[in-house]
Structure 1
Amino acid sequence: MSTSTISLDQLIAWLSRFRDLVTEKKSYLTELDSAIGDADHGSNMTRGMGAVVEKIGAAPSTAVDELLKSVGMTLVTSVGGAAGPLYGTLFLRMGVSAGPVTELDGAAFGAALRAGLDGVVARGKAEAGDKTMFDAIDPALDAWDAAVAGGSDIAAAASAALAAAEKGRDATEPLVARKGRASYLGERSAGHIDPGATSSTMLFQALADTVTS
């Protein structure tokens, strides 16, 4: 499906698809986190996104900023560990950037995601190569922006972003963690894919699934 905008309904479908993916991969996310973290990323993300879908279904939003801020607050209050504040901040900042609109074009959606990532960086101080969710999201946003600037539609931009996120996720495996719980392990954190980068890649998988269906 060729389209130049993402509607409010598509954003809701994106969030529902993300819930489905983290739920399906709960055990895998837990397995990754058990190697270098607290073994709770799978359960935390499943619980958080379950709460999100329940919340947005019970109280339908009429604008993008309202939807995304509701998502952010739900994640902050329902998810334990680092994932709640980080993902919550991502969506809260996205909402502020998006504003009270009912759809976003490619550039506006990219700007909202970038604002969200900036919020994550401000909270977690992560940068490229630290073995965190940043390593998947940042290259995905670069690919998204490049695709949109080159005239690609939303579906093509989402596919490009997903490919970049997957590459960034896989590149965390040999890294030594410099932020978060995994950093306590030092050299022993190498050889494991980062769980946060993995769930972040699912966010882009969910987007691609939604806008190409």
Structure 2
Amino acid sequence: MSETATRVLARMFERMSEVIETEKDHLSELDGAIGDGDHGITMSIGFKAVNAALSTLDLDTASPSDVLSTAASGFLNAVGASTGPLYATGFRRAAQALADRDQLDLAACRDMLGAISEGIRDRGKAQRGDKTMLDVWLPAAEAATAGVASNLSKPDFWKAVENAAENGAAATATMIATKGRAARLRERSLGHADPGAVSAAALIKAIAGASCTQAE
């Protein structure tokens, strides 16, 4: 019997927290070069709070939308910095996108990734090329849309999404920051990958490995 969509999403957030713990020190080192040096710590706090909040849900009765809404509240309550509202808005948009849906087929995964990226974009008023996490989330969402349109298999779909995310994170090293604290450095931000983009790529890899594994 296949795992329910609700449990898949709960497991997805567990994996996201695990990957952030693994990358926490690296993310803070990256942030130390162009920011406050606390990005890894901030993300760790946020996703630990998400999983603490999700632990109070009855996964046998909760909906996929409930999981994403709870994650949004948990992250926002724990992280007051700019990252908190950005991810909270993304997760809330994803909750809306999955309202009344109980299957995590690739179309639902496409809609979830698209909603997260759009929520982050709308809340942060940023765009691709600003050297932010959007340089990862937007290409990943576009790859998901193209993957569904091309009728890719599940492995090929997620490979395309992960590749788009990884390439987007790497590309930020060639960009001049125009948003956030790194924007104060202008040209001096060149040569440094954006820590928010690097953490976003790690999160998307965790999503690919943990979510949307429900039988279609």
Length-normalised TM-score, structure 1: 0.92
Q: Counterpart of 2:64?
A: 64
1:189 is aligned to 2:185: no
Q: Name stretches of at least 5 consecutive residues in structure 1 with no aligned partner.
A: none
1:139–1:165 contact (8 Å) kept in structure 2: yes
Q: Does 1:207 align with 2:207?
A: yes
1:117 aligned residue: 117
Which whole-Å CA distance do the structure 2 matches of 1:68 and 1:92 have between them? 6
CA deviation after TM superposition for structure 1 residue 54, in Å: 1.6
CA contact (8 A) 2:8 2:212 kept: no
1:39 corresponds to which residue?
A: 37
2:25 is the counterpart of 1:27: yes
**Structure 2: any 5+ residue segments left out of the alignment?**
none
> Once the 2 structures are TM-superposed, how far is the Cα of residue 31 of structure 1 from its aligned partner?
0.5
Question: Contact between 1:76 and 1:85, CA under 8 Å: does it hold in 2?
Answer: yes
Q: Is 1:104 matched up with 2:100?
A: no
Per the alignment, do residues 104 and 17 of structure 1 end up closer, same or farther by CA in structure 2, a change over 3 Å counting? same
Any runs of at least 4 consecutive aligned residues in structure 1 with deviations exceeding 3 A, and if so which? none
Give the 3-state SS of the residue equivalent to 2:172 in structure 1: coil
Q: State the alpha-carbon separation in 2 of the partners of residues 66 and 43 from structure 1.
A: 26
**Cα distance in 2 for residues equivalent to 1:58 and 1:212:** 22
Are 2:117 and 2:141, in contact at CA under 8 Å, matched by a contact in 1? no
1:82 aligns with 2:79: no
Alpha-carbon offset, residue 41 of structure 1: 0.8
SS for the counterpart of 2:198 is helix
- Residue 149 of structure 1: aligned partner: 149
TM-score, normalised via structure 2 length = 0.91
Cα shift at 1:143: 1.2
1:1-49 per-residue CA deviation (whole Å, 9 max, x = no partner) reads xx9x982222111111110000111100100111111111101110110
Q: Deviations over 1:37-87 (max 9, x none)?
A: 111110111011011112112223410111101101111110132111111
Structure 2 residue aligned with 1:126: 126
Contact kept, 8 Å, 1:136 with 1:164, in 2: the verdict is: yes
Q: Distance in 2 between matches of 1:153 and 1:135?
A: 25
CA distance in 1, matches of 2:25, 2:39: 9
How far apart are the structure 2 equivalents of 1:197 and 1:83? Answer: 12
Sequence identity (%)? 37
Aligned residue number for residue 16 of structure 1: 14
Give the AA of the match of 1:46: S
Secondary structure of 1:45 counterpart: helix
